[in-house]
Amino acid sequence: MDHYSDHCSDDLSTFWDELRNKCVPCLQHPQHPIRPGYEFSPNCGRHDDGGKSEGPYRRCASQTFNNGSFVKCQPCSSCPPNHQKLSECNATIDTQCCGAGDQTGCWKGALGTTTQQMQRSTMLRVQVSTSNPTSAKHIDPNVHGDSGMSRVNHQTAWIVLTVILVLSVLAFLLFNCIKKRRRRPRAFCIRDKENKPCFKVSLKDCLPSDNILYTNQQSRSSRRTAAVNEEFALLQSGTRSLEDILSPDLQSAPLQTVLDNLDVLEELVILLDPEIPGVKNTSHLASRCSFPATWITYTYSLRDSKSPLRAVLEGVTTKHPDWTVGQLARLLREMDRNDAVAVLTKLTLLKVV
């Protein structure tokens, strides 16, 4: 069977939505994001009456891939002439090639080739010397017949090792420089014992503690606050992708993780439950999770005894236990609630299984 829907047989990447009375792309379903290494099943595995014959995904077939950018798996590429293959195609990554001018990309291949040649040469010499010492003298020149190419590969390997060594030394010197700058004396007081302004004096020359400007702990706290504000500004600007904010393990964690972390849940409740004009809240999230308007109204009528957000999350985990933190984060991003996405990053402190 090449399709499951009679209404959507012309486009197998869509399924029949009875509520909208039209064909809807599988990608628009909140539980069907594009998965690397997979493609959508015909009509998402759904019949026109809502029944299912298979899951929404199929694994990419041999010699095809999907890196998370395509609805259907794509054929693996072949390296052009005069190009070197760095890695084979697999379910999530296309074939990796490099040309003669791309020396950086070819270093890995050159090192691998050198290692393989040295291993083959050593194995041949050992095998010949143990089995037939006379023939070893005859085969040895053939083993080194392409010594010119080996010398080039060895030179490339030495260049790579030299660059790595230089970078390591520079990193070590930079670390020492930063460490020394942190040890420099700082201003501890506003005025010294003679009531003159002071900027670089020892603590013993200062007046009583009420003249101390900042302690080391206060300074570190200020730096941490600035870093958090900068991170939040980046989240609010929408310039960072979700993959840069949430780790893959956290995105694939079950939605129940949010309910289990009471601190994170409490912050989300404070952000999303209030009804503020012009700001999308829990009611919008419930609508995107396909809860009817009557249920949302009833849930908000009980908000004095139970948080609407908690009711929504519990309802989603009950109906769809396969929902993940990543799906919740994507809905929040679509609602322009990047502040709530920032709170989800605190779940990285948990051990996600």
pLDDT band at 188 (very low <50, low <70, confident <90, very high): very low
Residues 114-118, mean pLDDT to the nearest whole number: 49
pLDDT surpasses 60 at 161: yes
Extract the tokens encoding 248. 């893959």
pLDDT at 169 over 60: yes
d(CA 38, CA 263): 35
pLDDT for the residue 111: 47
Q: Dihedral angle at the C-alpha atoms of 212, 218, 223, 224, nearest 10 degrees?
A: -170
Residue 292 has pLDDT above 90, yes or no: yes
Q: What is the pLDDT of residue 50?
A: 80
Find the mean pLDDT for residues 162-166: 93
Could you identify the residue written with the tokens 């194995």?
123
In the numeric block, which tokens belong to residue 240?
């960072």
Indicate the SS3 state at residue 188: coil
By mean pLDDT, which of 97-101, 158-162, 341-345 is the weakest?
97-101
Average pLDDT in the chain: 75
Q: Mean pLDDT, to the nearest integer, of 260-287?
A: 92
Cα distances from 219 to residues 46, 178, 285, 329, in angstroms, run: 59, 17, 40, 33
| 12, 60, 137, 330 from 68: Cα distances, Å | 18, 12, 55, 15
pTM greater than 0.85 (yes/no):
no
Which amino acid, one-letter code, is at 269? Answer: V
Please check the confidence at residue 18 and state whether its pLDDT lies above 90: no
CB-based contacts of 111, cutoff 8 Å, min separation 6: 153, 156, 157, 160
Contact indicator for 352, 250 with CB cutoff of 8 Å: yes
243 is written with which tokens? 């993959």
Identify the pLDDT of residue 152. 62
Please name which of 155, 36, 14 lies closest in space to residue 94, comparing C-alpha atoms: 36
**Distance from C-alpha of 71 to C-alpha of 11, rounded to nearest angstrom:** 12
Strands (E) across the chain are located at 14-17, 22-25, 38-40, 57-59, 64-65, 74-75, 84-87, 96-98
Give just the sign of the alpha carbon dihedral 147, 150, 156, 159: negative
Among 91, 90, 89, 72, which Cα is nearest to 34's? 72
Residue 195's pLDDT band (cuts 50, 70, 90): low
User: What mean pLDDT comes out for the span 146-164?
Assistant: 76
* pLDDT tens string 200-242: 444 444 444 444 343 444 454 455 545 445 555 545 545 567 7
Region of poorest pLDDT, from 26-40, 56-70, 282-296, 307-321: 26-40
pLDDT score, position 198:
52
Question: Residues 6 or more apart from 158 whose CB is under 8 A from it?
Answer: none
Look at residue 313 in the predicted model and tell me its pLDDT.
94
pLDDT per position as a tens digit, 70-98: 888 999 999 888 888 888 999 999 999 88
What average pLDDT does this structure show over 59-69? 92
pLDDT of residue 317: 92
Least Cα distance to 115 among 161, 182, 164 occurs for 161
